Amino acid sequence: MSSQGASEENQGVTVSGCATITELELTGADLILEAQINAGPSDITVQASDSSESKLSVGATSAGGLHVNNAELNLFTTSSILTLGSNQTYNVIVNGATQTQSPSETKLVAENDVLFT
């Protein structure tokens, strides 16, 4: 992996020339993403920390838990799969999400429900 960006405070991450990296996984209670994440041909997974009834909200409005707003959503670049949530994410709530980047596939995964509000 290499990092690139306009300044040291706001560097992006690019996965390139790494035959062994097939997935970039981001796990946390919250996400503040200010620079591009370019995974090239690798999958990207964004998931809430492992806890009971964890939430991942995507789009314009936060529903609590890990929130990926529209600006952050559009900083993920992959020619493969972007997965939002996982089997350790209890609910995924989507509200007004707009994605201008074009992964080959976007998946929403939740243990309980994927809700569109």
Total-model pTM = 0.81
Q: What is the DSSP letter of 52?
A: T
How far is 35 from 37, CA to CA, in rounded Å? 7
Residue 12 has pLDDT above 70, yes or no: no
pLDDT per position as a tens digit, 63-97: 888 999 999 999 999 999 999 999 989 999 999 99
Cβ-based neighbours of 34, under 8 Å, separated by 6 or more: 10, 75
pLDDT per position as a tens digit, 88-108: 899 999 999 998 877 889 999
